Amino acid sequence: AGSAATVAVQADHPGAVIAPAIYGQFAEHLGTQIYGGIWVGPDSPIPNIRGYRKDVVEALKNLHVPVVRWPGGCFADEYHWRDGIGPKDRRPVIVNTNWGGVEENNAFGTHEFMDFSELIGAGTYVNGNLGSGSVREMADWVAYMTADNHGTLVQERRANGRDKPWTLNWFAVGNEVWGCGGNMRADYYADLLRQTRVFLKPGAGQPTKFIAVGPSDDDTAWTETIMARAGKEIDALSMHYYDVASFNMVPKGTWAKKGSATEFGEAEWFASIFGAYQIGTYISHHSAIMDKYDPEKRVALVVDEWGTWHDPTPGSNPGFLQQQNTLRDAVVAAISLNIFHAHADRVRMANIAQMVNVLQAMILTDGPRMVLTPTYHVFDMYKGFQGATSLPVTVTGPDYSQGGRAVAAVSASAGRGTDGVIRLALTNVDPNKAAPVQVTLAGLKAGKVTGRILTAPAMNSDNTFDHPQTVVPAAFSDAKLSGDTVSVTLPAKSVVVLELK
């Protein structure tokens, strides 16, 4: 098995609190996510609660989803909120030009989103339309959702069935305005943002935080401009990063051929893992710029779109971004979450793209059937990290090498949960070799260690509607505690979460 990795946990030097919102999700009007995946309508033969699928609601409740971002994505900058309120039979039918050119009947609008969020116990993140909307439209939307007065807008909300305002936790001024959200330059956007922000006035007592469109990947120039021109006007800057295997291959591949979600070899496995580690470097770059303008770290960096992006499932509508999810996606999720934990002081929300049936989904549905993906199980194993105090970890030890490149074989993070339990997440990214690990716990006396593991026979093992249990967590007993050291052997390609009490 080779030389051991060491993971030094500094329990005596606690870091920032891991914002629960790091476990947020993203639900865009895209493909079969909203219609079919979440909303089937109250008259559907599929068991539902007021129109929301029961199986999906229960699965999401189990994850303690802290926040949902809606309605897009690119869809957000074509979405006019008034289309989605009032009697359903009078709501206009529009065409979803970004995603497959399908009809959108607006059956799922503001009331349905807010009701759904309340049902699963999640906070709310609404993405405003800057690209094709107006300042007034955004201002009215914020007031409609959050005000408690007798103005016409609020009376309209009441007439539509909601008396008290909802809680609006986050609101974004546009999405990807450098691309599908309006093809803007950073300076121009910074001015529009400053202007718009003045008129967005949530009702009294609302916790609403305002998010500016931030960079994609390593676009530090964008971060610099927005922080310099509008850093004082915002509560958060967003960042988008997709892990596309072809981009991390040598030679670099293309967007048109990102790579199959399920048919891949070790070169593609390595490329995805390499891509997952990459987000840590990019977060460090953006954080350093933010530190310059905001040393108190008042402005959060929110990674409101992240995850793997593979070629669509063969035979599916390519505009629906439907992809299968394998053990590789689970390992990418674990590495990413470990990185967010390490940056908990600045990264205070993240929203995986996306929740149901789209990209790196938690859940896949097909008519009445539902399956939980390997990524879902990572979120389940990690849920004790929500609100935990991060504990710094230093990993030293063997690399995992492939095709002349190398990454750390072990990815780790640690936290002290709100329940007092110390949790240690350890992933062995090497698909061929087990990783012996020595964990040292400075400043910690634990009496007992238990754990769960997610692994599977193959790199591309997945859960299907017919075989939903191929990649599921199991109890893990291969960790031995002696004094302030834990000795663990992580099987090849595995995600382990230990609990120390």
Q: Which residues bind ligand AHR (CB under 6 A)?
A: 28, 72-74, 175-176, 305, 353-354, 359
Terminal Cα-to-Cα distance of the chain (whole angstroms):
29
**305 in catalytic set:** yes
Residue 389, H or E segment: strand 389-391
Q: Which residue has the tokens 């490149």?
A: 405
What minimum distance in Å lies between the beta carbon of 443 and ligand AHR?
A: 41
10/216 with CB nearer ligand AHR = 216
CA distances from 368 to 45, 299, 310, 316, 317 (A): 8, 42, 25, 18, 19
Nearer to ligand AHR (CB atom), residue 74 or residue 271: 74
Nearer to ligand AHR, 308 or 494 (CB): 308
Helices (H), 217-263: 220-230
d(CA 326, CA 344): 27
- Of all residues in the shown chain, the one whose CB is closest to ligand AHR is 73
* Cβ count within 10 A of residue 255: 10
Number of C-beta neighbours around residue 414 at 10 A:
31
Write down the least CB distance from residue 463 to ligand AHR, Å: 22
Which lies closer to ligand AHR via its Cβ, residue 81 or residue 309?
309
Is the Cβ of residue 72 or residue 214 nearer to ligand AHR in the bound state?
Answer: 72
- Cα angle at 475 between 472 and 478, to 5 degrees? 125
Amino acid at 112: E
* Residue keyed to tokens 């859940």: 363
CB atoms within 10 A of CB 372: 23
CB of 490 to ligand AHR, least distance (A): 31
Strand partners, 178: none
- Shortest spacing between CB 90 and ligand AHR, in angstroms: 28
Cβ 193 to ligand AHR, closest distance in Å? 17
The nearer residue to ligand AHR, 133 or 473, going by C-beta atoms, is 133
Beginning with the edge strand found earlier in the chain, give each strand of the sheet holding 449-454 in spatial order: 389-391, 410-416, 422-428, 494-500, 449-454, 474-475
Closest CA to 290 of 348, 224, 234, 233: 224
Nearer to ligand AHR, 332 or 407 (CB): 332
Strands (E), 190-229: 209-212
The yes-or-no answer on residue 224 being catalytic is no
- Residue (41 or 179) nearer to ligand AHR, CB: 179
Catalytic residue among 112, 224, 233, 305: 305
Q: Where are the beta strands (DSSP E) in 294-447?
A: 300-308, 347-353, 363-366, 369-372, 389-391, 393-396, 399-402, 405-408, 410-416, 422-428, 435-442
- Rounded least distance, CB 191 to ligand AHR, Å: 22
> By the 8 A CB rule, do 488 and 496 touch?
yes
User: Distance between CA atoms of 363 and 376, rounded to whole angstroms?
Assistant: 7
Active-site residue among 28, 112, 176, 268? Answer: 176
Nearest to 128, CA basis, from 208, 40, 239? 208
Note whether 454 and 414 are within 8 A (CB).
no
Q: How far is the CB of 163 from ligand AHR (least distance, A)?
A: 33
Tell which residue, 240, 247, 194, has the closest CA to residue 215: 240
Q: Give least dist CB 410 to ligand AHR, A.
A: 30
Q: Which residues are catalytic?
A: 176, 305
